[in-house]
Amino acid sequence: MVQNSKILVVEDEHSISQLINMVLRSDGYENVKSCFDGLSALNLLDEWVPDIILLDVMLPVIDGMTLCKQIKGNPKFNQVKIIMLTAKKQEEDILAGFDSGAVDYITKPFSNKVLLARIRAQLQTQGSAKCAEIKYKNFSINPDTQVAKLGSETLNLTLSEFEIMKLFVENVGRVYSRSQILNVLRGNDSFDIAERAVDVQIVNLRRKLGGFGSNILTVRGVGYKLDENT
């Protein structure tokens, strides 16, 4: 059951932290812990690894974006899902949140029901075993563990880059427009992200993939695809 899952709340405003804890416990979540700054959260992870982290952006000592990058940069925490909680609503803030490794971005003030629904959706996805490693040439990607490899090398991809490569590898040869790729990155949310953001993600992906990046083809006037030729 998802209610058995471990949830860490990292929020420096005690009143908000207490409210989130109350909402979680009223919905049956008992294994909940709280931290009020980024460093305390990082130290707690040495001994207690949660399934979900509800992470405020504006934190003392270590801010939320930096903390998210540090957590997702450690293979030990590959399966930890991070949901950002913040009052920042600008396009660049949303992109930064996803690129730091967050799986969701909820702006304050938020509905308690929406928060619980987002948590439940991530936990159910996390518990699903339907996804297996997908391969394309010497590139492999595993949606379960959020690990992408080129040969034996583990790649340090952002969440957006990971989702784009997953889309391409699952649909080799299919052309995707920028708007279609954005819809995948947004999920069910209506974030106002410009299409130019896709071009930035593709440039970064090609750079991280090195020579292998040439397999991501630009279809002029349409969008991008993964080369179907072996």
Query: Do 150 and 60 sit in the same domain of this protein?
Result: no
Query: Do 39 and 84 sit in the same domain of this protein?
Result: yes
Query: Do 162 and 200 sit in the same domain of this protein?
Result: yes
C-alpha R_g of the chain: 18
- Domain termination site, one of 82, 101, 127: 127
- Domain termination site, one of 127, 143, 161: 127
* Local structure of 7: helix, strand or coil: strand
One digit per residue, pLDDT tens: the chain, 230 residues? 466 789 999 999 999 999 999 999 999 998 999 999 999 999 999 889 999 999 999 999 999 999 999 998 887 887 889 998 887 666 676 777 788 888 888 888 888 988 999 898 888 766 554 456 889 999 999 887 788 999 999 999 988 899 899 999 989 999 999 888 888 776 545 455 667 788 999 999 999 999 999 999 999 888 999 998 86
Query: Do 86 and 138 sit in the same domain of this protein?
Result: no
- Domain termination site, one of 94, 127, 160: 127
Query: Do 10 and 26 sit in the same domain of this protein?
Result: yes
Which backbone phi and psi does 60 adopt, to 5 degrees? -75, 160
Query: Do 55 and 87 sit in the same domain of this protein?
Result: yes
* pLDDT at 130 (0 to 100): 45
Q: Residue 56's beta-bridge partner residues?
A: 85
Report the candidate in 20, 64, 70, 11 with the shortest Cα–Cα distance to residue 45. Answer: 70
Distance CA 10, CA 57 (A): 9
* Local structure of 217: helix, strand or coil: strand
* pLDDT at 229 (0 to 100): 80
50 touches 10 (CB < 8 A): no
* Local structure of 91: helix, strand or coil: helix
Tokens 């997908």 -> residue = 134
Query: Do 120 and 138 sit in the same domain of this protein?
Result: no
Query: Do 109 and 195 sit in the same domain of this protein?
Result: no
CATH code at position 119: 3.40.50.2300
Query: Do 118 and 144 sit in the same domain of this protein?
Result: no
* pLDDT at 73 (0 to 100): 84
Domain count, the chain: 2
Query: Do 167 and 218 sit in the same domain of this protein?
Result: yes
Query: Do 50 and 145 sit in the same domain of this protein?
Result: no
CATH code at position 211: 1.10.10.10
Distance CA 110, CA 106 (A): 7
Give the domain range for residue 19.
Answer: 2-127
Distance CA 163, CA 159 (A): 6
Tokens 């396009």 -> residue = 91
Query: Do 80 and 158 sit in the same domain of this protein?
Result: no
